Structure 1
Amino acid sequence: MAAPSGILLVDKPGGITSHDAVARARKSLDTRKIGHAGTLDPMATGLLVLGVGPATRLLTFIVGLDKTYEATIRLGSSTDTDDADGTETARADAATVAAVTSEQIRAGVDALTGTISQVPSTVSAIKVGGRRAYDLARAGEEVQLRPRTVTVSRLDVRAERRTAGAIDLDVVVDCTSGTYIRALARDLGVALGVGGHLTSLRRTRIGPLPVEGAAHVDALGPDALRSAAEIAALVLGRFDVSADEARDLRHGKRLPGAAGRIGRAERAAAIDPLGGLVGVVERRGDDVKSAINLPEEPAA
């Protein structure tokens, strides 16, 4: 029996880690060779992309894609993790929170939209001196992370709900990879003078891959595997090749004068006549050459 290969789109529930989801996939598919294209916090739900077998090589083209999140920001209190899983560190008095107007919220949201400088949460997975920031923070050590430039192309407030001492904002965020939604909640709260943190977070999209139709963590068997060809074509665009061209690409040869067939893109997914993924190809002047080759797979 051939070792499994392909891409798993997983709809992670809250309360488990992304590594828990990977462990379940390894057990269901009876393989250790599974990687991910970016994790989600235990509190968060939504789309995880897992690569299985040789298809793990595609993850490098997925991890940096733009993402969409649905989240709820609570204004009026702060936590040490910038989300509801943390310990409350500050709370504004109810009158101060009530005085925050919708217009002030809109101005704060607008200031966090576009290309911004963001300091990641201290409980992020960023490495500091070879150690994860969250490990340092949990050990009680001081964590100082450098700001990074990210782009928030959309930060829409879909609903605003007010209770005594709190304002809950339901938001939708489109952003570049590496943006911390918890940090947006924190920074909005700081700007309004009342503190803020996330109470819910759901990732609904990574690049062209939506959470709709993604598999539940209890259903990560072979039937949930999506073909490498299908996902690569969605992410990179499809470049159809003949059987002879597929053979040449697998042997490391260039396809002379073929660059025009991949349009304006720098890379594309080369698909053979049977629907299998040959690999990822890239421009070399007017020619096309393989950047990554994958083993031959059955028709999609």
Structure 2
Amino acid sequence: MSGWTLGIIGGSGLYGVAGVEDGRWETVETPWGPPSDACYVGRMGHVRVVFLPRHGRGHRIPPSDLNARANIDALKRLGVTDVLAISSVGSLVEDRPPGSFTVVDQFIDRTRGRPSSFFGPGLVAHVSIADPVCSRLSALAVDAARAAGADVSPTGTYLAMEGPQFSTRAESRLYRSWGCDVIGMTAMPEAKLAREAELPYALVGMVTDYDCWREGEAVDTAEIIAQLGANAAKARALVQHLVAALPEERPASPIDTCLDAALLTAPAMRDPALVALLDAIAGRALRSS
């Protein structure tokens, strides 16, 4: 078995992955509450994989109620080393039509009231998310998407909105003026939390619609559902191609140790209760500092 344990977070329409051997559902308890669902743990060739349906099986959990801290903590407890997130998104530009994929490299976070950090009073940390995704994993995702037959854009800015309602036309036009390429409701604070957990993270956005910036058009849930099936089939193929392309041994990433430069609170002043909550997320860094 290689050093890779790939965590796969499946968004709308992707509630499972193909080709997993010796798979089993594992329930994980976290100090942040329950994750969205049990995790499906197995292997694909030389890579151990952990699949988590972001909205739960049957799509039970709306975006604003996702417990992103519990989801990331659960993946970390199961030994995940890298995270591939897959999400349904709307397109804010003409050349990213429904059915295409975007491998996101930047975010604008417009969510409200969602816990966005594992740290707080008694243990302060500031991680850099200037570059919020892992360039190595993202490049592999681009290649895998192409191998799966997807029309894929290798970069893109993701506008994270609160939801659960879709945008107004004025909002959609505003986000376009900001240079955003796709829009969704779930990647934040997920990407921020993955960085705090020292997990290299890549996000593949599967386009289902054009949001509502086009004259006379609006988001239609029935059309989105129809598009989800085709997108999910390509996403499952993408996962298989990506796993097959991973080298036998996982090279180290700077993200693996990013907390070393992020912890500010002096060891003697750290809140023991918060330190205990962070056993999986920051245990490596806390033990070495």
TM-score (normalised: structure 2) = 0.28
Larger Rg: 1
Q: Which has the higher contact order (CA 8 A, sep 6+)?
A: 2
Structure with greater strand percent: 1
State the TM-score, normalizing by the size of structure 1. Answer: 0.28
